[in-house]
Amino acid sequence: MLIETLSTFPDMYTSVMGSSMMRRAQDKGIITFKAHDLRDWTHDRHRTTDDDPYGGGDGLVMKCEPIFEAFDSLTDHLPVPPYTIFLAPHGEPFNDALACELAREERLLFICGHYEGIDERTYQLADRIISLGDYVLTSGELASMVVIDAVVRKLPGVLGAETGAENESFADGLLEYPQYTRPAVFRGEEVPAVLLSGDHGKVARWRREQSLARTARMRPDLLDHADLSAADREFLKSLSNGEGV
């Protein structure tokens, strides 16, 4: 997969894309990453990418000309343009299902806003407009890093364990079960005995029940759309009756 970003602050990606999982994904050849500087498509000596908003108001608005010129330059030679994403508060909420959908694309281009916003005319370039939530960030670069991370970890071969992404929170519509590692006892707190039993069937059932219990406690809204078995429903019923886990 080729992942590209277009922004006024491409250096913001250096640390994130050069570390940990992102670095390994590139070393393995699973992804190629390029951060493009929007200022390369400006034509004044100040390399201006923003201007005052029409109608007045606070802040500056990113100009449409350099964004369109950059997009044309990056895509005109391609038989199929990249799947183009904008990050904006009015976009659709980002979630695990959308991360899986984007992971099936061969080429992603993130166009990142900054300042007060982007000239509305640029959104016609978007295949998708995404929001991380009901809050405002300083820049689209920050939001794009979150989306890129969530997408890349879905790609085969990126995570150490083959089923790593399958077992994470939201992958099956539920929150992930609790995790433990050595030591078995720390400050009087013991790892649940079932995890030390060596009984894989009991461990699997315990994890499923813990996942259900955590979801019911922290995000009960997720249960409305989760794929639940008869045993899952019976367990949730026992929770509602106060039997606990």
Which are the contacts of 204, defined by CB distance < 8 A and separation ≥ 6?
none
> Known binder of ligand: residue 113?
yes
* Residues 112, 240: Cα–Cα separation, whole Å: 45
> Known binder of ligand: residue 132?
yes
Integer CA distances (angstroms), 141 to 98, 144, 190, in order? 19, 5, 42
> Known binder of ligand: residue 133?
yes
Angle at CA of residue 205, ends 203 and 206, nearest 5°: 65
Q: Within its chain, how far is the Cα of 234 from the centroid?
A: 33
Q: What amino acid is encoded at 187 in this protein?
A: R
* Residues 162, 44: Cα–Cα separation, whole Å: 50
> Known binder of ligand: residue 180?
no
Which residues carry a binding-site annotation?
A: 113, 132-137
Which residues carry a binding-site annotation for S-adenosyl-L-methionine?
A: 113, 132-137
